[in-house]
């Protein structure tokens, strides 16, 4: 489970012509603090790659933008790949099972008319 902010607009593509998959860059921050002896421990931000499929990808495509706050539930997946120079890289991704949009939607004139 993670709560974080989207770092850039989601990347959405379609596989098998009709199956959407989205990739979201999510930042989580552990707030800094000051120790009793006066030592300042700064904020620490970690970046996570979140993969969403099917309906979750469609939700992300339509409603999620850079800066939005998300709650993500999912599982870790680890992969390796070789770059063009032949070096092996390891990547960790979170494959989302559930998301909640935590950023409130701004009231638009169209929404205001229906109230």
Summarised one tens digit per residue, pLDDT across range 9-61 is 999 999 988 899 999 999 999 999 999 999 999 999 999 999 999 999 999 99
CB-based contact 31:43 (threshold 8 Å): yes
CB-based contact 98:73 (threshold 8 Å): yes
What pLDDT does 104 receive? Answer: 86
Closest CA to 28 of 1, 64, 62: 1
What pLDDT does 35 receive? Answer: 94
Measured distance CA(31)–CA(41) in Å, rounded: 9
CB-based contact 32:43 (threshold 8 Å): yes
What pLDDT does 115 receive? Answer: 42
Retrieve residue 37's tokens.
């002896």
Q: Return the domain boundaries, the chain.
A: 2-113
Query: How would you classify the pairing of strands 44-53 and 88-101?
Result: parallel
Q: How confident is the model at residue 106 (pLDDT cuts 50, 70, 90)?
A: low
What pLDDT does 109 receive? Answer: 43
- What pLDDT, in 10s, does the model give residues 52-94? 999 999 999 999 999 999 999 999 999 999 999 999 999 999 9
The CATH H-level superfamily of 2-113 is: Nucleic acid-binding proteins (2.40.50.140)
Please say if the pLDDT value at position 110 is more than 50.
Answer: no
Measured distance CA(23)–CA(16) in Å, rounded: 17
Average pLDDT, the chain: 90
């Amino acid at each position: 489970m993670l709560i974080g902010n989207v770092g850039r607009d989601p990347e959405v593509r379609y596989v098998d012509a009709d199956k959407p998959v989205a990739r979201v860059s999510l930042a989580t921050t552990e707030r800094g603090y000051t120790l009793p002896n006066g030592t300042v421990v700064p904020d620490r931000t970690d970046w996570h790659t979140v993969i969403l499929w099917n309906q979750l990808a469609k939700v992300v495509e339509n409603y999620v933008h850079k800066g939005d706050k998300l709650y993500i539930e999912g599982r870790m997946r680890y992969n390796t790949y070789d770059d063009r120079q032949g070096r092996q890289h390891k990547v960790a991704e979170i494959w989302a099972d559930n998301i909640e949009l935590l950023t409130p939607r701004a009231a638009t004139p169209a929404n205001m008319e229906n109230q």
